[in-house]
Amino acid sequence: MPSSPIRKLAPLAEAAKREGVKIYHLNIGQPDLPTPKQGLDALKSITRTTLEYSPSEGYLSLREKLVRYYHKFGIEVTPDEIIVTAGGSEAILLSFLACMNPGEEMLMTEPGYANYISFAVTAGIVVKTVTSTIEDGFALPPMEAWEEAITPRTKAILLCNPSNPTGYVYSQQELAKIKEIVAKHDLYLFSDEVYREFVYTDEPYLSAMNLGIDDNVILIDSVSKRYSECGIRIGMIVTHNRLVRDTIMKYCQARLSPPLLGQIVAEASIEGTEEYTEACFREYKERRDFFIKGLNSIPGVHSPMPHGAFYTVASLPVADAEDFCRWCLTDFRLEGETIMMAPAAGFYRNPDLGQNQVRLAYVLKKEDLQRALYILRSALKAYSRR
Amino acid sequence: MPSSPIRKLAPLAEAAKREGVKIYHLNIGQPDLPTPKQGLDALKSITRTTLEYSPSEGYLSLREKLVRYYHKFGIEVTPDEIIVTAGGSEAILLSFLACMNPGEEMLMTEPGYANYISFAVTAGIVVKTVTSTIEDGFALPPMEAWEEAITPRTKAILLCNPSNPTGYVYSQQELAKIKEIVAKHDLYLFSDEVYREFVYTDEPYLSAMNLGIDDNVILIDSVSKRYSECGIRIGMIVTHNRLVRDTIMKYCQARLSPPLLGQIVAEASIEGTEEYTEACFREYKERRDFFIKGLNSIPGVHSPMPHGAFYTVASLPVADAEDFCRWCLTDFRLEGETIMMAPAAGFYRNPDLGQNQVRLAYVLKKEDLQRALYILRSALKAYSRR
């Protein structure tokens, strides 16, 4: 079981905090924006007196609201086709467990969200990666690379769109290619679309649910990021494939129920929050523009322009980015402050890749991003002079 | 992956409800008692504006309160030795994943909580059962039976004390025997003690944490039952074994964090609720006395006297209890009402055992238990005359 590259340096950060050091967290996608007032108010108006189990598949009232939410994105499903989970995390794990047997193979791009690997290890499945490069802005790797990676044991492709950690948004053409390969080899397509609301291009967003390969697609979703409510642990699995749903439900029944209180907050957050959603969108877009420009203005730092989510993978002028990240936490202080970043090597399977890269999340307000950029610039200078 | 015997008949119950039939739920341990007011009030006084991730191991403030809680039961631990999970369910799964490799064997008594099997399947581990019998009141099976079941691949014993589904409370002598076998073969002992508060004997309760085999014991716990807050999904793993904790933390980091809101409710429920706890205890004890007496007064029904938790496994005068449970939901109505029970066969691994048994939970108020008993008596009569 690998350690989380996002959280593995946490003990160093804790130690620095105990010394009174202020840390700017660029390492974790914990949005700083407020949860919608509707969601918070829902907690205050709870009248039930027993906080009982919910149905294993989640409350129908929540799933009905989700049906209307998906409809706005052109995704047509019924409440029965939605299963509520303990965050996107559980949605991923249960999808793996239900669709794949131990020893079977799943393909994903690297760099990729590191916790996919952890859940794959848990489910006993083998992950093979197809490499996207910073030089290509992390575009979809060519079809030949996917075909090469496929073996008789390949059962699924996992795509994160928009991508964590790169912020890349796959184009309609790229998705058409993925569809072709999925259909040709009759694979499952796990499509993690939790950043759907944060797409900064003008091209219309295409969900894997609309590729026309209904029985193959398992949509992974979560309210965590779009409503700044990561802590409530509410995600969902959406699929037209009934057999997959029935199998997932067995796992869901074993763990009894998804969080009740989170469902109440999530349900209240879905409707009547259009203004909130637009404001969040504008805020993240502005931060992106500001942050990526700032990064690229630091000598030796390069970040492609991410078109979605709120992450980027940037290369730094260091040989070992993990060492640099650690050093920032243990040794470097700028007026009692420092930054925390996630070493990107943990997002690659190939141990030779991403050594000089970091994943950065722009979920801090602009002044803090500005300060973090300044600290990064200063830290790189000091690190090179050690 | 087996279906949950507790929830597998749920679709039949849903169908009956849609017809307007009232169902008395004896099938699931969903307490009807209210959640402590302190817990509910804590939700209403939340001042944070972003419902963010909590630490992967749970909030320190919660873990500190748990330390004081355990101290009252003579269990001495530090906050570092507690990891907060998404219910006891996740505590079980992560303990299995961290301590055992796929293919290794775990022993448990049968009948046993069916979801252990589901989590074992998820973790790829092999469950072997040692049979306890209704004739012996579900006492610990003799040592020879355990020794016989042990192979070189056995890595753990799981004990649920007080037991779900039987309500059996293991005596100090029985626990001493378990200790001996655990120590002799250097096994892990997973001790699920979520019903610790509900022990109706005068003998002092002994936690596995106090058996003197510190590095072997993994305590599984949950606030669900003791504070009637099953829906908040807050459980915990407690162990002195640091290596196990470190491994569990890797899984915890992958799933990011346990439910934030549940932690707030749980923390508020632990202290200042002594009166609440005593009232719940008295209530369950009264119900047990009433319910078990009522069961045994129905011709052909036999239930041992359970000394803990709020379940019993009873034998019915039917050849196939699952068929009878289904029939109660689909065919039998008494003035528009019926009962739902969990067929006990699902709690046994041996397909020949428990065919005429059901698991019943006494988490309804006395009038409802009385009515449910009357319906059971009438249903048995009608079923035998079909």
pLDDT at A152 (0 to 100): 97
Band of pLDDT at residue A358, cut at 50, 70 and 90? very high
**Which residue blocks in A111-259 are alpha helix, DSSP H?**
114-123, 143-149, 172-185, 242-254
Residue partners of B256: CB distance under 8 A and separation at least 6: A87, A89, A115, A230, B53, B56
**What torsion, rounded to 10 degrees, do the Cα atoms A139, A291, A22, B263 define?**
-60
Calpha distance A321→A328 (Å, rounded): 10
Beta strands in A163-301 (DSSP E): 188-192, 217-222, 235-238
Contact between A118 and A91 (Cβ < 8 Å): no
Model confidence at A386: pLDDT above 90:
no
Contact between A261 and B231 (Cβ < 8 Å): yes
**What is chain A's Cα-based Rg?**
21
Calpha distance A94→A83 (Å, rounded): 10
Calpha distance B193→B75 (Å, rounded): 12
pLDDT at A5 (0 to 100): 72
Query: Closest chain B residue to A35 measured between Cα atoms?
Result: B50
The distance of Cα B348 from the centroid of its chain, to the nearest Å, equals: 15
Calpha distance B27→B306 (Å, rounded): 16
What topology is assigned to B37-270 in CATH? Aspartate Aminotransferase; domain 2 (3.40.640)
Query: Closest chain A residue to B98 measured between Cα atoms?
Result: A1
Kindly report, residue by residue over B278-318, the tens digit of the pLDDT. Answer: 999 999 999 999 999 999 999 999 999 999 999 999 999 99
CA angle B56, A261, A33 (to 5 degrees): 65
Domain ranges (residues) in chain B: 10-34+275-385, 37-270
Report the percent of chain A where pLDDT is more than 70: 100
Kindly report, residue by residue over B55-97, the tens digit of the pLDDT. Answer: 999 999 999 999 999 999 999 999 999 999 999 999 999 999 9
Both tokens assigned to B100? 């055992």
Residues of A in contact with B363 (CB under 8 A): none
Report the percent of chain B where pLDDT is more than 70: 100
- Average pLDDT rounded to a whole number, residues A261-279: 96
Measure CB to CB from residue B231 to each of A31, A53, A119 and give the nearest one: A53
Across A221-242, b (16+ Cβ under 10 Å) vs e yields: bbbbbbbbbbbbbbbbbbbbbe
Check B43 against A3: CB less than 8 A apart: no
Check B124 against A124: CB less than 8 A apart: yes
Band of pLDDT at residue B386, cut at 50, 70 and 90? confident
Band of pLDDT at residue A203, cut at 50, 70 and 90? confident
Q: Backbone phi, then psi, for A14, in 5-degree steps?
A: -60, -40
Band of pLDDT at residue B100, cut at 50, 70 and 90? very high
Coil, helix or strand at residue A126: strand
Check A44 against B43: CB less than 8 A apart: yes
Q: A253, A264, A269, A364: best mutation site toward chain B, by most B Cβ within 10 Å?
A: A253
Question: Which has the closest alpha carbon to A369: A280, A293, A281?
Answer: A293
Band of pLDDT at residue B28, cut at 50, 70 and 90? confident
Q: Cis omega (within 30 of 0) on the bond before B165?
A: yes
CATH number of A10-34+275-385: 3.90.1150.10
pTM of the model: 0.94
Question: Which has the closest alpha carbon to A306: A203, A165, A190?
Answer: A165
Across B37-66, b (16+ Cβ under 10 Å) vs e yields: ebbbebbeeeeeebbbbbbbbbbeebbebb
pLDDT at B323 (0 to 100): 97
Contact between A235 and A39 (Cβ < 8 Å): no
- Specify burial of residue A158 (Cβ count, 10 A radius: 0-12, 13-18, 19+): buried
Measure CB to CB from residue B50 to each of A32, A93, A259 and give the nearest one: A32
pLDDT at A71 (0 to 100): 97
Q: Backbone phi, then psi, for B176, in 5-degree steps?
A: -65, -35
As a whole number, the mean pLDDT across chain B is: 96
Measure CB to CB from residue A255 to each of B53, B90, B265 and give the nearest one: B90
End-to-end CA separation in angstroms for chain B: 34
Model confidence at B29: pLDDT above 90:
no
Model confidence at A8: pLDDT above 90:
no
CATH number of A39-270: 3.40.640.10
**What torsion, rounded to 10 degrees, do the Cα atoms B123, B56, B64, B81 define?**
40
- Average pLDDT rounded to a whole number, residues A156-182: 97
Model confidence at A10: pLDDT above 90:
no
Kindly report, residue by residue over A214-255, the tens digit of the pLDDT. Answer: 999 999 999 999 999 999 999 999 999 999 999 999 999 999
pLDDT at B10 (0 to 100): 87
Candidate from A5-19, A45-59, B356-370 with smallest mean pLDDT: A5-19
Check A255 against B50: CB less than 8 A apart: no
Residue partners of B224: CB distance under 8 A and separation at least 6: B87, B88, B194, B230, B232, B233, B234, B235
Query: Closest chain A residue to B246 measured between Cα atoms?
Result: A3
pLDDT at A43 (0 to 100): 95
Q: What is the DSSP letter of A303?
A: -
Check B39 against A51: CB less than 8 A apart: yes
Band of pLDDT at residue B7, cut at 50, 70 and 90? confident
Chain A with chain B: Cβ pairs closer than 8 A: 187
Q: Backbone phi, then psi, for A275, in 5-degree steps?
A: -60, -45
Kindly report, residue by residue over B234-286, the tens digit of the pLDDT. Answer: 999 999 999 999 999 999 999 999 999 999 999 999 999 999 999 999 999 99
Beta strands in A213-361 (DSSP E): 217-222, 235-238, 311-315, 337-340, 342-343, 357-361
pLDDT at A384 (0 to 100): 94
Contact between B192 and B158 (Cβ < 8 Å): yes
Check B118 against A28: CB less than 8 A apart: no
Three state DSSP letters for chain B: CCCCCCCCCHHHHHHHHHCCCEEEECCCCCCCCCCCHHHHHHHHCCCCCCCCCCCCCCCHHHHHHHHHHHHHCCCCCCHHHEEEEEHHHHHHHHHHHHHCCCCCEEEEEECCCHHHHHHHHHHCCEEEEEECCCCCCCCCCCHHHHHHHCCCCEEEEEEECCCCCCCCCCCHHHHHHHHHHHHHHCCEEEEECCCCCCECCCCCCCCHHHCCCHHHEEEEEECCCCCCCHHHCEEEEECCCHHHHHHHHHHHHHCCCCCHHHHHHHHHHHCCCHHHHHHHHHHHHHHHHHHHHHHHCCCCCECCCCCECCEEEEECCCCCHHHHHHHHHHCCCECCEEEECEEHHHHCCCCCCCCCEEEEECCCCHHHHHHHHHHHHHHHHHHHHC
Residues of B in contact with A31 (CB under 8 A): 50, 52
- Average pLDDT rounded to a whole number, residues A12-32: 93
Check A233 against B233: CB less than 8 A apart: yes
Band of pLDDT at residue B1, cut at 50, 70 and 90? confident
Report the DSSP pairing between strands B82-86 and B234-238. Answer: antiparallel
Calpha distance B156→B96 (Å, rounded): 9
Q: B3, B33, B52, B94: best mutation site toward chain A, by most A Cβ within 10 Å?
A: B52
Question: Which has the closest alpha carbon to B166: B283, B27, B376, B307?
Answer: B307
Band of pLDDT at residue A153, cut at 50, 70 and 90? very high
Nearest Cα of chain A lies from the Cα of B199 at a distance, in angstroms, of 22
* Helix (H), strand (E) at residue A330: helix A321-330
Inter-CA distances, A375 with A15, A252, A286, A322, Å? 19, 45, 20, 17
Q: What is the DSSP letter of A127?
A: E
